[in-house]
Amino acid sequence: MHKLTIPIPDEEIRALHVGDTVSLNGIIVTGRDAAHKFMIEHFIRNPVAPEDEALYEELKRLLNGGVIYHCGPVVRKNADGSWTFVAAGPTTSIREEIYQPEVIAHFNLKGVIGKGGMGPNTLKACQEQPAVYLHAIGGAATLIAQSVREVVAVHKLEFGIPEAMWVIRVEDFPVVVTMDSHGQSLHEAVEHESKARLEALLGV
């Protein structure tokens, strides 16, 4: 088990390999389709508008050496105005393949958490950065939420609760490395093996 504190140094990322288990500690940011599209269109491919500068600077600080989590949480607003994560399971990551490499490079991301894996462009970005893709346990949303010790802030709540960017502090957040900075992808290996077995069964 690798116990990592965010922000994560490059040497600790390079020490990870496919199959390693990881316990994350520190601040991570959730982001799904709307958040990734927003970052691409407002921060990466176009000049930052004055009204977005504060958020841009905050995300640069949080994501530098940091981790983004593909998650649409279930949250509860408390009487004092604070928020509590009720469920925090991963969402399917492949939808962000068109955005992820640019987000990784621009913000110096070190980790992407989700489920189902990502494609060759993200794998290449993980090698170049370096960074890793971390697989969270699907179907364990309530259990994972127990690792969320504090909701520090929320941005772009106008996107809706699942699509907003939640800034959370986690302790002992359990994940598994399934794409590493050395060009290895468990998802790619499983796909190739499954295809080979199917072809053998079909006599192709």
| Catalytic pick among 36, 135, 155, 187 | 36
The single-letter DSSP state of residue 49 is: P
Number of helices followed by number of strands (H, E) in the chain: 7, 9
Please indicate whether residue 155 is annotated as part of the active site. Answer: no
CB pairs under 8 A, 24+ apart, for 3-11? Answer: 3/172, 6/65, 6/66, 6/67, 6/110, 6/111, 7/64, 7/65, 7/66, 7/110, 8/65, 8/66, 8/67, 8/110, 8/111, 9/65, 10/110, 10/130
Q: Which active-site residues does the annotation give?
A: 36
